[in-house]
Structure formats: structure tokens, C-alpha cells
């Protein structure tokens, strides 16, 4: 632990999500960001014909039913999400996103815009950085989906900021994964090429720990407009 961190804790700056340290930091937010980087990674890639999320579920006890530990969540027919960090925190936000998506469909008789979903989640996360007696959500979320004519990919941070990406990563080793994406991503690549790229990046990053059974691969193609999940045998076809 660094000396400045010890001083901050002695002074109590990390006891509230609403108290700034002398360095201008919200220490509870800083701690939550470290929690996110302890979670297994997800990669999102927006391709010319669709958008992909590849999520690493991590190593699980063989007694666990694999389908109960999936890390790609369906928000609506045309919107999917993944998370890194405290997944029970993610569940609350995902359930809220599902609710507003259904409310939008009932009210306006049309699918919700992908950015509206990420904005709603980000607003909630921001609120939890400025109210006493609560802690920030310890999770980063990746949202991907299809609007009328194009696919979108977003991530939202602990603070409530959100950004749109061509390709990105959240969770463990995210900086290394992003560096590989910068080198290998091409805007014109198809969904099939994107899946191969994402899995090969995981293979490079994880090394001997790479196991096809620990991944969820889902995508939404522009022409289909619906979530499609790949089974383990289908995923194997994309690995060199």
C-alpha cells in the first residue's frame, strides 16, 4: 500500500462515496475500479455486418451447471450486455435495463435505442457516487445492439461515464487486450472474422489457461436484428 493511500484511509476519505480526498479523488470509486479489473474480461467488437460480445466466464467448479454462469445477458431482442466486476451488482442494472426496454416497447410500440439503455444505466451509476450511505456499483458494463440501420457498442464506467467504441474490452487484462485490438481490428471485418479475432486475443492473453468451455460468444447481425448465441462446438470452429 502506498503512503498516500495509508494517509487517506487514516483521514477517513475512503469511508464515504461522496467525500473527495485532497488529491481530488473519490476513493470508493477508485476501489470499485480496481474491483472491475479483478473480474474476468469481455471483448466487444463492432463489425461491418453486426456486433459481437465474447465473455470469459473464468474457471468454474465442475459441479456448477455451465449455463447458470453465462456472462452475456439479453436485455431485449436487439440488445445484449456483459459485465466485469461484482456480477450481482450487474444483475440489478441488467434487470433495470430490461424493464425500461419493455416499458419503451409498450409505450412507443418500437424497440428502445441502444444509447438510451446505456444512458439509463450510467445515470444510475452516477447517482451512487454522490449519495451518502451507499457505495458505487462495483461493475463495468458493456452494451451492444442494433438500431434501425446500424449496430452500436458502448461501455459504462464506475463514475457513470459512457463511451461508444469500434472495439473494446472490460475486466482483467483490459489494457493488454485493447492494445491488441488497436493493432488487429479493422472496421471492414465481418462478424465471423471478429469472433476469430476476439478468441485469438483471449488465447494470446490467457496462454495455458485458455479453454473454449469458459467463453460465451454472442452476436447480433444487422440483417437478422436478433441475438444469436454460439454453442461450445460452434466456438471451436473459430479457433485456429
What's the pLDDT at 10?
Answer: 45
CA distances from 142 to 65, 106, 208 (A): 24, 25, 26
What's the pLDDT at 239?
Answer: 86
What's the pLDDT at 160?
Answer: 94
* pTM > 0.85: yes or no: yes
What's the pLDDT at 151?
Answer: 96
**Per DSSP, what are the bridge partners of residue 142?**
82, 155
Strands 151-156 and 139-146: antiparallel
Q: Return per-residue pLDDT of the chain as tens, 240 residues.
A: 555 555 555 466 677 767 777 787 777 888 889 999 999 999 999 999 999 999 999 887 788 887 788 999 999 999 999 999 999 999 999 999 999 999 999 999 999 999 999 999 999 999 998 887 888 999 999 999 999 889 999 999 999 999 999 999 999 999 999 999 999 999 999 999 999 999 999 999 999 999 999 999 999 999 987 899 999 999 999 986
Domains of the chain: 3-236 (3.60.20.10)
Amino acid at each position: 500500500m502506498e503512503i498516500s493511500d495509508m494517509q487517506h484511509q487514516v483521514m477517513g476519505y475512503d469511508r464515504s462515496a461522496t467525500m473527495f480526498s485532497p488529491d481530488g479523488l473519490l476513493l470508493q470509486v477508485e476501489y470499485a475500479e480496481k474491483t472491475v479489473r479483478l473480474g474476468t474480461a469481455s471483448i466487444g467488437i463492432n463489425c461491418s455486418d453486426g456486433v459481437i460480445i465474447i465473455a470469459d466466464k473464468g474457471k468454474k467448479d465442475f459441479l456448477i451447471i455451465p449455463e447458470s454462469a453465462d456472462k452475456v445477458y439479453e436485455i431485449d431482442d436487439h440488445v445484449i450486455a456483459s459485465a466485469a466486476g461484482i456480477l450481482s451488482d450487474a444483475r440489478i442494472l441488467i434487470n433495470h435495463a430490461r424493464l425500461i426496454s419493455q416499458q419503451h416497447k409498450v409505450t412507443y410500440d418500437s424497440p428502445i435505442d441502444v444509447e438510451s439503455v446505456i444512458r439509463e444505466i450510467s445515470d444510475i451509476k452516477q447517482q451512487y457516487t454522490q449519495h451518502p450511505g451507499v457505495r458505487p456499483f462495483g461493475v463495468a458494463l458493456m452494451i451492444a445492439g442494433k438500431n434501425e440501420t446500424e449496430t452500436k457498442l458502448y461501455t459504462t464506467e464506475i463514475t457513470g461515464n459512457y463511451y461508444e467504441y469500434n472495439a473494446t474490452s472490460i475486466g482483467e487484462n483490459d489494457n493488454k487486450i485493447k492494445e491488441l485490438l488497436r493493432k488487429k481490428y479493422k472496421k471492414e471485418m465481418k462478424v465471423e472474422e471478429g469472433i476469430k479475432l476476439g478468441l485469438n486475443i483471449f488465447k494470446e492473453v490467457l496462454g495455458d489457461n485458455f479453454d473454449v468451455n469458459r467463453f460465451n460468444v454472442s452476436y447480433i447481425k444487422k440483417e437478422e436484428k436478433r441475438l444469436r448465441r454460439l454453442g461450445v462446438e460452434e466456438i471451436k470452429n473459430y479457433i485456429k
